[in-house]
Amino acid sequence: MEIIELDPADGDLVSGAYDVMVASHKADHPENPAPHRGSFVAGLSYPPPDQDEAHFVAVEDGRVVATMGIGLPNRSNLHFGWAWGSVHPEHRRKGIGSALLEHFIAYAREHGRTELTLDTHMAWENGVERAKAGRSFLEKHGFKLALTTINRSCAVDALAADTEQALLDKARAAAGDDYEIISWIGRTPEELVETMARIDSTILAEVPLGDLELEPETIDAELKRAKQDRTEAMGLKVVQTVARYRGSGEVVANTCVFLHDDGEFPDAYQGITIVDKDHRGHRLGLLLKLENLRLLRENFPHLRAIWTDNADVNAPMIDINVTLGYEIVDANGEFLRKFEA
């Protein structure tokens, strides 16, 4: 078995890696959204602007048997590194996963990273079954559970039309006239980029992170635009709704959903939903999500479901999602191992 850096131009290796992802998805967590070939391939050549990435495959007898991506933040959180990947179900328990994990640790350590994480699907109460392999594997290698997020999904038409309308009316009444609700599909309107960058910069300080010591990332307008370039390069579209406080002109609440813009992939992913501390308690979270859902349904009739993951302790966000009809599927365990500097 050989570990090779994945060259995005090597079509056979890229296809082999994608096939491993598909086989693992089918064996390990078939209820979750499937890997998307176009986005995977595009992502290999187009890393996020705030993260350096490297991709590796394990090859045995000329066939790709495992795949791994490594992400190293390059602006803030320079102590941190994470990896993702899987071993083909027919090639497990032969030490391939361990070899890749050691490769990740060596690579990240060489780049000065001291806090390394990987995640794995886990079962959660009222959800579907999940194998314990990922957790056992990571614990065997000295990683400890640092953050649990629960994956929920919701049909785009989960609520009866009159229930949805009643919720929307109530949320609109609670928000009152102080907020202008603005929605768009695609790139952030240029006049909102600065204020959106400001609210995006608060995300890491506001979402529960368990034992992950991540500092808030400062997102400026330039980085915000570069992130949007990457979203487009990946063939993803964003559907977004924000609330602008009339008193200050600033965006104080935001929700967004990402989808594959190919007219057929049925699953969409909920991105961040955030309401500025000073503007909580006005039902802005629920209001924005409902407005955004309507926009999504009207413009992308091929979509069937939206997926979201919330920290298990994030009660206010989970309350909103349950109201909207989200149901538990499984959980994600983020496992952390710390090294000496």
Residues forming the site for ligand COA (CB under 6 A): 24, 28, 84-87, 92-98, 118, 120, 132-134, 136-138, 140
Tokens 């999940």 sit at which residue? 130
Give the nearest distance from C-beta 132 to ligand COA in angstroms. Answer: 6
Give the nearest distance from C-beta 81 to ligand COA in angstroms. Answer: 13
Give the nearest distance from C-beta 101 to ligand COA in angstroms. Answer: 7
Beta-sheet strands, E only, within 124-178:
144-155
Helix (H), strand (E) at residue 12 = helix 11-28
Closest to ligand COA by CB, 121 vs 260, is 121
Closest to ligand COA by CB, 128 vs 158, is 128
Q: How many residues does the chain have?
A: 341
Distance CA 50, CA 72 (A): 9
338 close to 211: Cβ distance less than 8 angstroms: no
Distance CA 13, CA 65 (A): 10
Closest to ligand COA by CB, 131 vs 305, is 131
- What is residue 141's DSSP assignment? T
- What is residue 256's DSSP assignment? E
Give the nearest distance from C-beta 135 to ligand COA in angstroms. Answer: 8
- Contacts of 46-53 with C-beta under 8 Å, sequence gap 24+, read 46/230, 46/233, 46/234, 47/71, 47/230, 48/227, 48/230, 49/223, 49/226, 49/227, 49/229, 49/230, 50/74, 50/75, 50/76, 50/217, 50/223, 50/227
Closest to ligand COA by CB, 118 vs 259, is 118
Closest to ligand COA by CB, 133 vs 203, is 133
Closest to ligand COA by CB, 130 vs 224, is 130
151 close to 309: Cβ distance less than 8 angstroms: yes
Closest to ligand COA by CB, 56 vs 300, is 56
| Sequence-separated (6 or more) residues with CB below 8 Å from residue 35 | 18, 21, 22, 25
